[in-house]
Amino acid sequence: MIEVPDVFVSSIAFGERDFAGLVHKAQSWGANKIELTHGITREDKLESQLVCQSQLQFIVHNYSPPPPEPFVLNLASEDLSTLETSLAHCRRAIELSQKLQARYFSVHAGFAAIVKPEHLGKQIPAENRRDKAVAKAIFEASIRELVDFGAKHGVGILVENNVVAEPNLIEGRNDMLLLATGEELAEFAERMGGDHLGLLIDFGHVKVTAATLGLDCTAFFDLVSPHTRALHLSDNNGSHDSNEPFNRDSWITNTLANFAPEYIVVETRCTTRSQLAACIDAIEVAYG
């Protein structure tokens, strides 16, 4: 029997954009471990509020806390301004993670394109796409830099698998999104992994990517499980990463036994209190 990992709840589950509303709803629901992700309104004193908040435990994920000026975080960008902005954001997040006594800061895998905020939710212009091999080299250099920076602050780095949906394909191929398949992730982790670097596997991303690329989910999970230190859990219809809730009858419950992560995040969007309880129940059943 594997001990139930720490269970965090993503900030998107509460449907609250301001920090005070998030804290109030989390406490009223009895959720005391929160992963901060996108969607929280920027506040000048947000970081000090996080550090001073003693009743809740926080970890930091990707594009959070929100930066002063919006940008698209991409640690594989050929655009030097975007790359340095992305690295600076991650360094600040690592410093905050240290203050919060968090073991890890997690970040998305990069992509081979120059993407601006106005491109989000739309097809990326052809002239903005870049060579995937070049993007991979830039991304790995970025991760090495962040791993070194994190080690000095006692914070490990977790890299999350990308999601490949049908609109992301170029002539039927995934030419833009790094670390989307089990083979890519396992090779990356085996070559670059260590005490301060691991994987965060998003089950919703795997479901969509497997449907898009015709992958076998079981084989995917077998490849990545030895390198996985954290999980994001949500469900979807296989075509869009919609962050739907799940329960003990879900395919997710049966799959969890293949993993022994240090923590799990329920990453369902605008969840009700009863739906969140059902998600947590499913995790407990899986490790019971």
Contact 182, 213 (CB under 8 A): no
Indicate whether 232 pLDDT > 60: yes
Q: What local confidence, expressed as pLDDT, does residue 19 receive?
A: 92
Indicate whether 2 pLDDT > 70: no
Q: CB burial class (10 A; 0-12, 13-18, 19+) of residue 98?
A: middle
Q: What local confidence, expressed as pLDDT, does residue 9 receive?
A: 98
Which tokens is 139 given? 């991304």
Q: What local confidence, expressed as pLDDT, does residue 1 receive?
A: 54
Indicate whether 120 pLDDT > 80: no
Across 34-48, 54-68, 148-162, 177-191, least confident range:
34-48
- Please name each of the domains of the chain with its CATH number: 6-286 (3.20.20.150)
β-pair partners for 111: 177
CA distance 221 to 225: 6
Across 126-130, 186-190, 195-199, 265-269, least confident range:
126-130
Amino acid identity, position 141: A
Q: What burial letters (b/e) apply to 59-79, b meaning 16+ CB within 10 Å?
A: bbbbbbbbbeeebbbbbbbeb
Q: What local confidence, expressed as pLDDT, does residue 122 receive?
A: 66
19-67 confidence digits (pLDDT tens): 999 999 999 999 999 999 988 888 878 888 898 888 899 999 999 999 9
Which tokens is 39 given? 């969607």
User: Which DSSP string do the residues of 53-112 spell out, in sequence order?
Assistant: --SSEEEEESS-SPPSS-----TT-SSHHHHHHHHHHHHHHHHHHHHTT-SEEEEE--BS
Identify the H or E element spanning 30: none
Average pLDDT for the chain:
94
Amino acid identity, position 54: S
Q: What local confidence, expressed as pLDDT, does residue 31 receive?
A: 96
Angle at 266 between CA 192 and CA 235, to 5 degrees: 90
Total-model pTM: 0.96
Q: Who's near 155: CB < 8 A, 6+ residues apart? A: 94, 97, 98, 102, 103, 104, 105
DSSP state at residue 4 = P
Q: What local confidence, expressed as pLDDT, does residue 168 receive?
A: 85
Q: What local confidence, expressed as pLDDT, does residue 197 receive?
A: 98
Confidence of residue 126 (pLDDT cuts 50, 70, 90): confident
103-114 confidence digits (pLDDT tens): 999 999 999 998
Which tokens is 243 given? 């962050």
